[in-house]
Amino acid sequence: MLDRDLPSQGGLSVLEFRQVSKTYDAGHGRVTALKDLSISVRPGEFLTVVGPSGCGKSTLLNLLVGLEQPSGGDILLNGSRSIDRRRIGYVMQNDNLYPWRTLRENVEFPLELRNVPEAERRRISLDYLAKVHLRDFADRYPHELSGGMRQRGNIVRALSFSPDLIIMDEPFGPLDAQTRLLLQNQLLELWADEGKTVIFITHDLPEAIALGDRVMVLTARPGRVKSVHDVPIPRPRNVRHLHEDSVYRDLLSRLGDELAEEISAGGVSQ
Ligand SMILES: Nc1ncnc2c1ncn2[C@@H]1O[C@H](COP(=O)(O)OP(=O)(O)O)[C@@H](O)[C@H]1O
Ligand SMILES: [Mg+2]
Protein backbone atom coordinates (compact mmCIF):
# COMPACT_ATOMS: atom_id res chain seq x y z
CA MET A 1 0.00 0.00 0.00
CA LEU A 2 2.78 2.41 0.86
CA ASP A 3 4.80 1.62 -2.22
CA ARG A 4 2.96 4.40 -3.99
CA ASP A 5 4.61 6.88 -1.65
CA LEU A 6 8.04 5.48 -2.32
CA PRO A 7 8.35 5.19 -6.10
CA SER A 8 12.03 6.09 -6.09
CA GLN A 9 12.86 3.13 -3.90
CA GLY A 10 11.49 0.67 -6.42
CA GLY A 11 12.34 -2.85 -5.38
CA LEU A 12 15.00 -1.72 -2.92
CA SER A 13 14.41 -3.26 0.45
CA VAL A 14 14.92 -0.92 3.30
CA LEU A 15 16.35 -3.60 5.53
CA GLU A 16 17.88 -6.97 4.86
CA PHE A 17 19.06 -9.70 7.18
CA ARG A 18 21.38 -12.04 5.27
CA GLN A 19 22.20 -15.37 6.87
CA VAL A 20 22.42 -13.75 10.27
CA SER A 21 23.60 -15.93 13.14
CA LYS A 22 24.23 -15.15 16.76
CA THR A 23 25.93 -17.35 19.32
CA TYR A 24 26.25 -16.12 22.88
CA ASP A 25 29.07 -17.12 25.13
CA ALA A 26 27.16 -17.81 28.29
CA GLY A 27 29.15 -18.77 31.39
CA HIS A 28 28.02 -22.39 31.19
CA GLY A 29 28.62 -22.78 27.44
CA ARG A 30 27.52 -21.40 24.14
CA VAL A 31 23.95 -20.68 23.13
CA THR A 32 23.08 -20.26 19.48
CA ALA A 33 20.15 -17.87 19.51
CA LEU A 34 19.81 -17.29 15.75
CA LYS A 35 21.04 -19.36 12.83
CA ASP A 36 21.23 -18.23 9.20
CA LEU A 37 18.22 -15.97 9.43
CA SER A 38 17.39 -14.16 6.19
CA ILE A 39 14.54 -11.76 5.51
CA SER A 40 14.06 -8.62 3.44
CA VAL A 41 11.81 -6.02 4.95
CA ARG A 42 10.09 -3.84 2.36
CA PRO A 43 9.96 -0.05 2.63
CA GLY A 44 6.88 1.00 4.57
CA GLU A 45 6.08 -2.57 5.52
CA PHE A 46 4.65 -3.66 8.84
CA LEU A 47 6.42 -6.95 9.50
CA THR A 48 5.42 -8.94 12.55
CA VAL A 49 7.56 -11.68 14.06
CA VAL A 50 6.33 -14.58 16.18
CA GLY A 51 8.20 -17.52 17.64
CA PRO A 52 8.56 -19.57 20.78
CA SER A 53 10.02 -17.97 23.86
CA GLY A 54 13.83 -17.93 23.73
CA CYS A 55 14.06 -18.36 19.94
CA GLY A 56 16.04 -15.18 19.42
CA LYS A 57 13.40 -12.53 18.72
CA SER A 58 14.86 -9.90 21.03
CA THR A 59 18.32 -10.84 19.81
CA LEU A 60 17.25 -9.95 16.27
CA LEU A 61 16.40 -6.40 17.33
CA ASN A 62 19.46 -6.03 19.53
CA LEU A 63 21.66 -6.97 16.58
CA LEU A 64 19.92 -4.40 14.47
CA VAL A 65 20.53 -1.54 16.90
CA GLY A 66 24.09 -2.66 17.64
CA LEU A 67 23.55 -3.73 21.26
CA GLU A 68 24.89 -7.10 20.13
CA GLN A 69 27.15 -8.06 17.23
CA PRO A 70 26.22 -10.87 14.82
CA SER A 71 28.44 -13.98 14.87
CA GLY A 72 27.80 -14.40 11.15
CA GLY A 73 25.95 -12.84 8.25
CA ASP A 74 25.08 -9.25 7.44
CA ILE A 75 22.44 -6.69 8.28
CA LEU A 76 22.04 -4.12 5.52
CA LEU A 77 20.03 -0.92 5.58
CA ASN A 78 19.40 0.43 2.10
CA GLY A 79 22.16 -1.83 0.88
CA SER A 80 24.74 -0.57 3.32
CA ARG A 81 26.35 -2.31 6.27
CA SER A 82 26.85 0.96 8.09
CA ILE A 83 23.54 1.51 9.78
CA ASP A 84 22.78 4.90 11.26
CA ARG A 85 21.21 3.79 14.51
CA ARG A 86 19.94 7.27 15.25
CA ARG A 87 17.42 6.60 12.47
CA ILE A 88 15.88 3.68 14.35
CA GLY A 89 13.14 4.04 16.98
CA TYR A 90 13.25 1.14 19.46
CA VAL A 91 10.31 0.38 21.70
CA MET A 92 11.45 -2.14 24.26
CA GLN A 93 9.28 -4.66 25.99
CA ASN A 94 9.03 -2.74 29.23
CA ASP A 95 8.29 0.92 29.04
CA ASN A 96 11.44 2.71 30.05
CA LEU A 97 10.23 6.24 30.47
CA TYR A 98 12.47 8.24 32.76
CA PRO A 99 10.67 8.59 36.10
CA TRP A 100 12.13 12.03 36.74
CA ARG A 101 10.79 13.46 33.50
CA THR A 102 7.19 14.30 32.69
CA LEU A 103 5.53 12.48 29.83
CA ARG A 104 6.17 15.42 27.52
CA GLU A 105 9.80 15.67 28.57
CA ASN A 106 10.20 11.97 27.94
CA VAL A 107 8.79 12.28 24.43
CA GLU A 108 11.09 15.23 23.83
CA PHE A 109 14.19 13.41 24.98
CA PRO A 110 15.25 11.99 21.58
CA LEU A 111 14.63 15.43 20.08
CA GLU A 112 16.90 17.03 22.68
CA LEU A 113 19.61 14.56 21.75
CA ARG A 114 19.22 15.72 18.16
CA ASN A 115 19.39 19.41 19.12
CA VAL A 116 15.88 20.24 17.99
CA PRO A 117 15.05 23.74 19.31
CA GLU A 118 12.84 23.88 22.37
CA ALA A 119 9.70 25.37 20.78
CA GLU A 120 9.84 22.82 17.97
CA ARG A 121 10.33 19.99 20.47
CA ARG A 122 7.32 21.10 22.40
CA ARG A 123 5.16 21.34 19.31
CA ILE A 124 6.16 17.88 18.12
CA SER A 125 5.73 16.19 21.49
CA LEU A 126 2.32 17.72 22.16
CA ASP A 127 1.22 16.83 18.64
CA TYR A 128 2.13 13.20 19.16
CA LEU A 129 0.62 13.05 22.61
CA ALA A 130 -2.64 14.40 21.16
CA LYS A 131 -2.62 11.63 18.54
CA VAL A 132 -2.65 8.99 21.25
CA HIS A 133 -5.11 10.95 23.43
CA LEU A 134 -2.56 11.87 26.06
CA ARG A 135 -2.41 15.63 25.54
CA ASP A 136 -4.02 16.24 28.93
CA PHE A 137 -1.41 14.08 30.63
CA ALA A 138 1.62 15.78 29.12
CA ASP A 139 2.80 17.22 32.44
CA ARG A 140 2.29 14.07 34.49
CA TYR A 141 5.14 11.88 35.64
CA PRO A 142 5.25 8.18 34.65
CA HIS A 143 4.16 6.98 38.10
CA GLU A 144 0.95 8.99 37.69
CA LEU A 145 0.01 7.12 34.50
CA SER A 146 -1.48 3.69 33.80
CA GLY A 147 0.59 0.98 32.09
CA GLY A 148 -1.26 1.58 28.83
CA MET A 149 -0.62 5.32 28.99
CA ARG A 150 3.06 4.79 29.67
CA GLN A 151 3.33 2.41 26.78
CA ARG A 152 1.63 4.90 24.45
CA GLY A 153 4.16 7.47 25.65
CA ASN A 154 6.91 5.00 24.96
CA ILE A 155 5.68 4.47 21.41
CA VAL A 156 5.31 8.13 20.51
CA ARG A 157 8.72 8.81 21.98
CA ALA A 158 10.15 6.35 19.47
CA LEU A 159 8.25 8.10 16.65
CA SER A 160 8.87 11.71 17.66
CA PHE A 161 12.22 12.07 15.92
CA SER A 162 10.87 10.65 12.66
CA PRO A 163 12.97 7.48 12.45
CA ASP A 164 13.22 5.55 9.19
CA LEU A 165 12.58 2.32 10.96
CA ILE A 166 10.57 1.47 14.07
CA ILE A 167 11.23 -1.73 15.95
CA MET A 168 9.06 -2.95 18.78
CA ASP A 169 9.68 -5.83 21.16
CA GLU A 170 6.42 -7.18 22.56
CA PRO A 171 5.33 -3.64 23.39
CA PHE A 172 1.84 -4.63 24.55
CA GLY A 173 2.89 -7.77 26.42
CA PRO A 174 2.01 -6.75 29.96
CA LEU A 175 -1.26 -4.99 29.13
CA ASP A 176 -4.77 -6.29 29.69
CA ALA A 177 -6.76 -7.47 26.66
CA GLN A 178 -8.94 -4.35 26.29
CA THR A 179 -6.04 -1.92 26.54
CA ARG A 180 -4.13 -4.04 24.07
CA LEU A 181 -6.88 -3.79 21.47
CA LEU A 182 -7.07 -0.05 21.96
CA LEU A 183 -3.34 0.37 21.55
CA GLN A 184 -3.20 -1.94 18.55
CA ASN A 185 -5.77 0.21 16.77
CA GLN A 186 -3.92 3.38 17.76
CA LEU A 187 -0.65 1.97 16.52
CA LEU A 188 -2.22 1.11 13.16
CA GLU A 189 -3.55 4.65 12.86
CA LEU A 190 -0.15 6.13 13.66
CA TRP A 191 1.51 3.81 11.19
CA ALA A 192 -1.00 4.72 8.46
CA ASP A 193 -0.17 8.41 9.05
CA GLU A 194 3.57 7.93 9.09
CA GLY A 195 4.25 5.26 6.50
CA LYS A 196 7.31 4.01 8.37
CA THR A 197 8.80 0.55 8.16
CA VAL A 198 7.95 -1.40 11.30
CA ILE A 199 9.30 -4.65 12.74
CA PHE A 200 7.00 -5.74 15.53
CA ILE A 201 7.78 -8.70 17.76
CA THR A 202 5.07 -10.46 19.67
CA HIS A 203 4.35 -13.83 21.21
CA ASP A 204 0.68 -13.25 20.46
CA LEU A 205 -0.33 -14.74 17.12
CA PRO A 206 -3.70 -12.91 16.82
CA GLU A 207 -1.79 -9.66 17.34
CA ALA A 208 0.81 -10.59 14.72
CA ILE A 209 -1.88 -11.27 12.10
CA ALA A 210 -4.04 -8.31 13.07
CA LEU A 211 -1.22 -5.81 12.67
CA GLY A 212 1.10 -7.20 10.03
CA ASP A 213 1.43 -6.94 6.27
CA ARG A 214 3.43 -10.13 6.67
CA VAL A 215 4.02 -12.46 9.57
CA MET A 216 7.39 -14.15 9.96
CA VAL A 217 7.28 -17.34 12.05
CA LEU A 218 10.56 -18.34 13.67
CA THR A 219 11.55 -21.84 14.66
CA ALA A 220 12.44 -22.87 18.19
CA ARG A 221 16.03 -22.00 19.11
CA PRO A 222 18.19 -21.57 17.22
CA GLY A 223 15.77 -19.20 15.54
CA ARG A 224 15.49 -19.54 11.77
CA VAL A 225 12.76 -18.43 9.44
CA LYS A 226 10.15 -21.18 9.47
CA SER A 227 7.76 -19.35 7.16
CA VAL A 228 6.64 -15.91 6.04
CA HIS A 229 2.96 -15.27 5.34
CA ASP A 230 1.23 -12.38 3.60
CA VAL A 231 -1.78 -11.05 5.47
CA PRO A 232 -4.18 -10.09 2.67
CA ILE A 233 -6.65 -8.32 4.94
CA PRO A 234 -7.51 -4.85 3.63
CA ARG A 235 -6.66 -1.71 5.58
CA PRO A 236 -7.70 0.24 7.49
CA ARG A 237 -8.29 -2.64 9.88
CA ASN A 238 -10.21 -2.57 13.10
CA VAL A 239 -8.62 -5.21 15.28
CA ARG A 240 -11.82 -5.51 17.29
CA HIS A 241 -13.70 -6.98 14.35
CA LEU A 242 -11.09 -9.16 12.73
CA HIS A 243 -12.35 -12.36 14.31
CA GLU A 244 -15.30 -12.08 11.88
CA ASP A 245 -12.93 -12.15 8.90
CA SER A 246 -12.48 -15.56 7.27
CA VAL A 247 -8.96 -14.74 5.98
CA TYR A 248 -7.95 -13.82 9.51
CA ARG A 249 -9.44 -16.98 10.97
CA ASP A 250 -7.80 -19.16 8.34
CA LEU A 251 -4.38 -17.63 8.97
CA LEU A 252 -4.84 -17.93 12.70
CA SER A 253 -5.54 -21.61 12.37
CA ARG A 254 -2.65 -22.35 9.96
CA LEU A 255 -0.05 -20.30 11.78
CA GLY A 256 -1.32 -21.58 15.11
CA ASP A 257 -0.44 -25.10 13.95
CA GLU A 258 3.02 -23.97 12.83
CA LEU A 259 3.73 -22.22 16.06
CA ALA A 260 2.50 -25.16 18.12
CA GLU A 261 4.91 -27.42 16.23
CA GLU A 262 7.80 -25.16 17.16
CA ILE A 263 6.77 -24.75 20.75
CA SER A 264 6.63 -28.50 21.20
CA ALA A 265 9.91 -28.93 19.26
CA GLY A 266 11.63 -26.47 21.60
CA GLY A 267 10.23 -28.01 24.75
CA VAL A 268 9.85 -25.51 27.54
CA SER A 269 13.29 -23.96 27.08
CA GLN A 270 13.63 -20.61 28.79
N1 LIG B 1 23.31 -11.52 26.53
C2 LIG B 1 23.08 -12.86 26.48
N3 LIG B 1 24.00 -13.73 26.93
C4 LIG B 1 23.78 -15.06 26.85
N5 LIG B 1 22.65 -15.61 26.35
C6 LIG B 1 21.70 -14.78 25.90
C7 LIG B 1 21.86 -13.36 25.94
N8 LIG B 1 20.74 -12.79 25.41
C9 LIG B 1 19.93 -13.80 25.08
N10 LIG B 1 20.51 -14.98 25.35
C11 LIG B 1 19.94 -16.31 25.09
O12 LIG B 1 19.64 -16.39 23.69
C13 LIG B 1 18.41 -17.04 23.49
C14 LIG B 1 17.47 -16.10 22.73
O15 LIG B 1 17.12 -15.02 23.59
P16 LIG B 1 16.10 -13.87 23.16
O17 LIG B 1 16.59 -13.26 21.90
O18 LIG B 1 15.92 -12.98 24.33
O19 LIG B 1 14.77 -14.73 22.87
P20 LIG B 1 13.25 -14.24 22.72
O21 LIG B 1 13.23 -12.77 22.69
O22 LIG B 1 12.77 -14.90 21.46
O23 LIG B 1 12.52 -14.82 23.90
C24 LIG B 1 17.89 -17.45 24.86
O25 LIG B 1 18.26 -18.78 25.09
C26 LIG B 1 18.60 -16.50 25.79
O27 LIG B 1 18.78 -17.09 27.05
MG1 LIG C 1 12.32 -11.35 23.89
Index of the ligand 1 atom closest to the CA of residue 34: 14
Walk along the chain (270 residues) and give the pLDDT tens digit of each residue: 333 333 334 445 579 999 999 999 988 889 999 999 999 999 999 999 999 999 999 999 999 999 999 999 999 988 888 888 888 999 988 778 999 999 999 999 999 999 999 999 999 999 999 989 999 999 999 999 999 999 999 999 999 998 989 999 999 987 888 889 999 999 999 999 888 899 999 999 999 999 999 999 999 999 999 999 999 999 999 999 999 999 999 999 999 999 999 999 875 444
Helices (H), 11-115: 57-64, 103-113
Which value, in Å, is the radius of gyration of the alpha carbons in the chain?
Answer: 19
Q: What is the pLDDT of residue 13?
A: 57
The CA distance from 247 to 60, in Å, is 29
Nearest one of 164, 237, 161, 170 to 195, comparing CA atoms:
164
Ligand nearest to the CA of 50: 1
Indicate the pairing of strand 15-26 with strand 72-77: antiparallel
Q: Does residue 59 have its Cβ closer than 6 Å to ligand 1? A: yes
Q: What is the pLDDT of residue 141?
A: 98
Q: Does residue 119 have its Cβ closer than 6 Å to ligand 1? A: no
User: pTM, whole model, 2 decimals?
Assistant: 0.92
48, containing H or E segment: strand 46-50
Q: Does residue 54 have its Cβ closer than 6 Å to ligand 1? A: yes
Q: What is the pLDDT of residue 92?
A: 86
Asked if residues 166 and 89 have their Cβ atoms less than 8 Å apart, the reply is yes
Q: What are the CA-CA distances from residue 166 to residues 83, 124, 187, 262 (Å)?
A: 14, 17, 11, 27
Residue closest by Cα to atom 14 of ligand 1: 56
The CA distance from 250 to 191, in Å, is 25
129, containing H or E segment: helix 118-131
Residue-wise DSSP of 135-198: GGGTT--GGGS-HHHHHHHHHHHHHTT--SEEEEESTTTTS-HHHHHHHHHHHHHHHHHH--EE
The CA distance from 185 to 237, in Å, is 8
The CATH H-level superfamily of 2-265 is P-loop containing nucleotide triphosphate hydrolases (3.40.50.300)
| Residues flanking ion ligand 2, Cβ below 5 Å | 57-58
Sheet containing strand 29-41, edge to edge, reads: 29-41, 15-26, 72-77
Q: Does residue 24 have its Cβ closer than 6 Å to ligand 1? A: yes
- Ligand 2 geometric centre to CA of 123 (Å): 34
